[in-house]
Amino acid sequence: LGAVLVIGAGCATPSQGCGQFLSTPPMRAIGRISYSWYLWHWPVLVLAPALLGHPLGLAERITAALLAAGLAWLTLQYLENPLRFAPKIRDSPWRSLGLGALATTIAVFVGLGLLKVVPTPTGPGAPLTTAVITAPTAPTGSDIAAYDAAVQQTFARAQAAVTASLGTKAVPSNLTPPLTKLDDEDRSFHGCLRMPQESGQPECIMGDTTSTTTVALIGDSHAAMWTPAFQQIATQRHWRLQMMAKGACPISDAHARGYFSGLVEYFQHCYQWRDEVLARLKAEHPRLVVISVWRGYGTDETATGFTGYDAAWLDGMTQLVRQLREAGMQVLVLGPIPSPHANVPICVSGHLDDVTACALSRSAAVNQPSIAAEAAATTAGGGQYADLTNLFCTAETCPVIIGNTLIYRDVGHLTSQYAQVLAPVMGALADRALAHG
């Protein structure tokens, strides 16, 4: 498209139109290094955030692009052109082909060799114990104050573990999960988390499959990440846990608008899945529905016609909760987890001696006014809302390791291990939600 526009603007005639501009010395200089610049810009932009430990801002991206331009000029001047115009190579097609084959072979073997010699990122710190949140005795009866007290106790114990972890500087040698094992776990939970291109929802029952108390965990991948916690709770309380989740699909009726034709089928799968899940919930009547979703839909201004926490999102949440409540189900909406805005394992692997460099500022990681608005929207629909911020942050800081447990497995999902640490908190929240019924 860019080439067509340039030609259409008059570059077929060098002395007219854009050709006159592109023939100026500065533009010709850029043209000379353009391909080398293209080759250099990607590794620079990829490696810079990992080395710095945070996403690049506008000024840093511009600096990285200029650095790539400088590297492009150096390699063009002192490597590419000397080889390309060397008489022995230029005058012999066989030597040219041989050099190309040799360079390709060297690149392949260097890449394979690096896979063998890259050191395993292991924390140099002393081993630490896993944070344990002791669950209070589960209340019985209908005294809501007792359930409120149990929730407050578990939150206070979690907050104490978070506060104690602020002093962790060197990554513990027994970090759980290890940085090298993050890709080993089954993030789809045997296909229960549907991928964006998949339709339908298989039967995914955990815990006590014969229990008369059914709890449904629904949403997207941010619901699936809580499965280890609720699976533990369901086993302890003899509940029947049903998990229904689909990646990158908002469960509320704040419909996305497909700006690109290639996304139409994707969104159809999303809407079909959502309608199927709601129909199953209304037919099966679980006692409690737990909702957890990513709040970033539409923030990249590419895929959706609404933004997390805007009026459409809040109204959609109210309508979803109201539908479920009118069908006789209790509803618990889990608030968002703090957003790290970066790939946490990459940051940790680059700061093994000082993991505090990866800690998050609470003000940057948490959108507190919007959480309050979403809580109000949930209450308006007749549901209950849990602000989870204090399970991750103190008043100012959100560490990325608590005890010896890594919190995030990527740019925004919990590790299964930390979800299990928080199981007593989820249990207290679920107990209170059920007590309201």
Architecture of domain 144-435: 3-Layer(aba) Sandwich (3.40)
The per-residue pLDDT for 335 is: 97
Q: Where are the alpha helices (DSSP H) in 285-422?
A: 311-326, 344-350, 362-365, 368-380, 416-421
304: alpha, beta or left? (left if phi > 0; alpha if psi -120 to 50): beta
393-317-193 Cα angle (round to 5)? 75
Instruction: Report DSSP letters for 288-313, one per residue.
Output: EEEEE--S-TTTTSSS-SS-TTSHHH
Does residue 53 have a pLDDT over 60?
Answer: yes
Q: pLDDT tens digits for 335-388?
A: 999 999 889 999 999 899 999 999 999 999 999 999 999 999 999 999 999 999
Residues of the chain with CATH 3.40.50.1110: 144-435
Of 269, 267, 213, which Cα lies nearest the Cα of 236? 213
Per-residue pLDDT reduced to its tens digit, 291-306 = 999 988 754 444 444 4
Strand-pairing partners, residue 194, are 246
- Mapped onto helix, strand or coil, the DSSP state of residue 234 is helix
Highest mean pLDDT among 79-83, 111-115, 315-319: 315-319
Handedness of CA 401, 406, 410, 415 (dihedral sign): negative
Strand partners, 332: 290, 384
Predicted confidence (pLDDT) per residue in 225-247, tens digit: 999 999 999 999 999 999 999 98
d(CA 221, CA 11): 49
pLDDT tens figures, 252-291: 876 554 443 345 455 568 888 999 999 999 999 999 999 9
